Structure 1
């Protein structure tokens, strides 16, 4: 675990990084022209590799749609074999969107995973939930997500984990930080998260106060019509796809399963 007062030089000497999670960490919404996924974790790994004074290796085990139990079962145990200097852990978002899910139970599973990861990695980097205030339909889950965010803060405090507070990041409230589906970050959003994660690890200066890139936005409809259109075009297809477990074959495996040099 990272220790309070640890120097920037010590943190900059990270030689291996393993990213765990779902579509957020896999990099959905941040695609190259040929369709390859990048995402905040790849961007952070690139920054760390360029700054590391030691040979650097990186693995990304995240798979879209994964629930916290699946991440804890499929991905967390791999860390015992890989033994990285740094592991990032972001999970629970898909669980919270499920009807009738218990935030307290999700948080308990999150903490169990953090404890297991801390036994095999020097530093466990964790993430809070996003603030969905500007997202149709999901804004109605804001209280539930806020409660989970409070849980993650408490868990990070108990176990000495550095934390990326996505809820408080103002650039992520700008439309340009999100893909059209409003469920996944855009390339710009992933860049903001990568820079914030680097800053939390002592690797980069503060940049999140910068003005987000402006882009032309469509004329806004009344809120209720926006919600209905977004739910029909994006949320309901995603929800049905997710609940039925219809993942495409190419995303059933992590994109970077082994710790390898960049």
Structure 2
């Protein structure tokens, strides 16, 4: 659940839905290795604020009866709308409570430290306050914190997309490894060595093209011909759970042993 961060903006991959990959896909690739029963959905939509994420994604997420949920929200509120971090936290708390009631493991993200970024250094205090609220919410609902604020590797400019808002492929890879480490999951992601996307079959790739055209290219083209169109996808990246990368042959030997989640 989330916005452009979870959708994977900044990590281009033509073979992925919407032409983007991201940390969430990279985590799912690791968790799915050797597991035929694994299914992954990504409900994130670029550009959404906290209220939109909760209104549009909370119900579908609960309906999927998940074992593991990641939720990142509030970044657009703080960066573009100067929202009050305490009010954002109150909304988030209610949503996390509903997710926690499903019995799923909930992963919440703190915001990154933009202190060295001239454009966003003025909101550093608000991000810090919001992060403390997030830690409190996680403790209240037995959630897990994926701590971008203390991930010092993110101070390297190579971790960021040229737009300075989103993460680069290396940044997404680094975040994926951090989340897996936080969940105490053994994985094959090595520092500073992003893995390529596993190859699917021709049939699988054609199916992915259809999804990409319907959910991303067509809406993008429609908005481009309208005045004021911004080109932001309106559809979830992976609205239905399914294989991360459909296999063209036998499954590889297991790479990870995910911990049991309740």
| TM-score bracket, shorter-length normalisation | 0.7 to 0.9
Q: Number of aligned pairs?
A: 210
* Corresponding position of 1:21: 2
Among residues 6, 26, 45, which one is paired with 2:28 in the alignment? 45
Relative distance call for 1:104 and 1:146 in structure 2 (3 A) is: same
* Corresponding position of 2:105: 123
Please give the TM-score of this superposition, normalised by the length of structure 2: 0.74
In structure 2, stretches of 5+ residues that fail to align are 195-226, 245-262
Residues of 1 paired with 2:229 and 2:71: CA distance? 24
- How far off is 1:201 after superposition? 1.2
Among residues 152, 172, 175, which one is paired with 1:193 in the alignment? 175
Residues of 2 paired with 1:51 and 1:182: CA distance? 36
Residues of 1 paired with 2:175 and 2:75: CA distance? 16
Residues of 2 paired with 1:134 and 1:69: CA distance? 29
Please give the TM-score of this superposition, normalised by the length of structure 1: 0.74
- Structure 1 segments (4+ residues) deviating >2 Å: 204-208, 210-213, 244-249
Residues of 2 paired with 1:59 and 1:174: CA distance? 30
Relative distance call for 1:131 and 1:212 in structure 2 (3 A) is: farther
Among residues 156, 176, 179, which one is paired with 2:158 in the alignment? 176
Relative distance call for 1:202 and 1:140 in structure 2 (3 A) is: same
Relative distance call for 1:100 and 1:181 in structure 2 (3 A) is: closer
* Corresponding position of 2:11: 30
Relative distance call for 1:211 and 1:190 in structure 2 (3 A) is: closer
Residues of 1 paired with 2:68 and 2:20: CA distance? 21
- How far off is 1:248 after superposition? 2.4
In structure 1, stretches of 5+ residues that fail to align are 1-19, 214-243
* Corresponding position of 1:81: 63
* Corresponding position of 2:214: none
* Corresponding position of 1:8: none
Tell whether the 8 Å contact from 2:30 to 2:187 is kept in structure 1 after alignment: no
